[in-house]
Amino acid sequence: MNICIISFSGRADGNCHDITSVVSQALLNEHHVAAFELCGSEVSPCGNCGYSCFSDNQACPMSSDDVAKIYDCVCSSELAYYIVPNYCDYPGSLFFILNERGQSFFSNDPNRLELYLKIEKRFIVVTNTEQENFKKAFKYHVRENGEPDILFLAAKDYGVSSIEGGLMNSEQARRTVIDYATGPGSLSKAGGDQHPSADVDDEQVVYETAPQMIDISYIRFRGRVLDIGGGGEGIISRHSGEKVISIDIRKEELEEAPDRGLKIIMDARRLGFLDLTFENVTCFFSLMYMDESEIGELLKEAYRVLKAGGELWVWDIAIPPKTDADIFIAQVNVRVSGGSEISAGYGVRRTRAQSADTIRGLCENAGFVLRAEHHFDQAFMLRMVKC
């Protein structure tokens, strides 16, 4: 696979430089990697021109710099990584320079712009504060109505200074970057049983997603795990075994789940556990079966039973606004620890739309703070923390 990596930092060393090196080294053995650090490239801002990029017969006066080479690299790759620093709560100026110069590169060539937007992109952002501005800026670099796949790295979470650098000296931060670079999206299609949870009649219209490729094999939960809606395929108990307590409101779902860890019939809106009991709470494609008020009750309970610093992990699917379909089915291929691959179908009658934004908002309303967010086509993962 051809992979392009671009660092938008304004300095020659520091965290973005180190992250670029880590991502490159993680991918070089199996892929062809080209990396650009814009601080060392000739990238000129727009200026001293008469908007020649809007003309059919005038060349951009800056066309001799490296911008075209960088865009050509992205367009000839299957995957691109953008490493972006936070400057005053926005991406650094080099990001916007490349962005504005795209007008010249894509001018009068809609096919080239369409190709660029189709290239899969992953964004790694070094920020201790702002996130929303980055999401808005990156949306212009992915397909229409698509959500950018972003890993937010807060240096303060790893006990280092953003200004002084050294983020990649933290083994935990380094591992997070490597897992992000090599993990989600790497699965091949796997066979296996599917268990849609909504019965389908011949006369009903079904909306079925393409297989969503999700890799959780690299995740290592610290401490005990409460898995909400853990019946059926029992993905989390398959992954983490005896440290998992799986609850489900339906006895038959728990009976179907593998006999790993502890299984309890329980309503997640009224958890029968003491405060501050668990280090982790997981929801693997379980929120899609609830309305927002039920999710709110669940999240309030999850917050209560989590210890300070405990984490809420949510994997779920973006459900589009209701159309003619009666049933929505998310097809999912999951890699768990040990390399096993599991295919499953999660089906629900169409009652409401949802997205990563709506679920994140509900989590934040319950008091959680976002630590990481990944997107895998329509599926998404939110890693939230109880501060």
CATH code at position 177: 3.40.50.360
**341 has which bridge partners?**
335
Alpha carbon distance 231, 252 (integer Å): 8
How many other CB atoms are found less than 10 A from the CB of residue 380?
24
Does a structural domain hold residue 200?
no
Same domain assignment for residues 239 and 164: no
Q: Please report which confidence band the pLDDT of residue 207 belongs to, taking 50, 70 and 90 as the band edges.
A: confident
Residue 81 lies in a domain: yes
Higher pLDDT, 324 or 377: 377
Pick the residue with more confidence: 206 or 241? 241
Tell me the mean pLDDT in the region 300-305: 98
- What CATH number is given to the structural domain containing 290? 3.40.50.150
| Residue predicted with more confidence, 185 or 251 | 251
Q: Please compute the mean of the pLDDT values over residues 58-84 and round it to a whole number.
A: 82
* Mean local confidence (pLDDT), 43-47: 76
Same domain, 155 and 252: no
pLDDT of residue 163: 75
Same domain? For 228 and 352 the reply is yes
Tracing tokens 């937007």 back to the chain, one arrives at: 117
Cα distance between residue 210 and residue 27, in whole Å: 26
Answer yes or no: do 99 and 227 share one domain: no
Q: Are residues 229 and 130 in the same domain?
A: no
Q: Name the DSSP letter for residue 140.
A: G
My answer on whether 155 and 231 are in the same domain is: no
Give the count of domains, the chain.
2
Same domain for 36 and 70? yes
Query: Residue 268 falls within a domain, yes or no?
Result: yes
Residue 11 sits in which domain range? 2-182
Q: Where are the alpha helices (DSSP H) in the chain?
A: 15-28, 67-75, 93-106, 110-118, 132-138, 171-182, 235-240, 251-256, 292-305, 356-365
Please state, as a whole number, how many other Cβ atoms lie within 10 Å of the Cβ of residue 189: 11
Same domain, 36 and 78: yes
- Please check whether residue 275 is in contact with residue 220, taking contact to mean a CB–CB distance below 8 angstroms: no
Q: Is residue 194 part of a domain?
A: no
What pLDDT does 183 receive? 64
User: Considering 123, 149, 182, which residue would you say is the last residue of a domain?
Assistant: 182
Among 52-66, 81-95, 223-237, name the most confident range: 223-237
Say yes or no: 151 and 237 in one domain.
no
Within a domain: 187: no
75 and 141 both lie in a single domain: yes
| One domain, residues 248 and 351 | yes
286 and 381 in a single domain? The answer is: yes
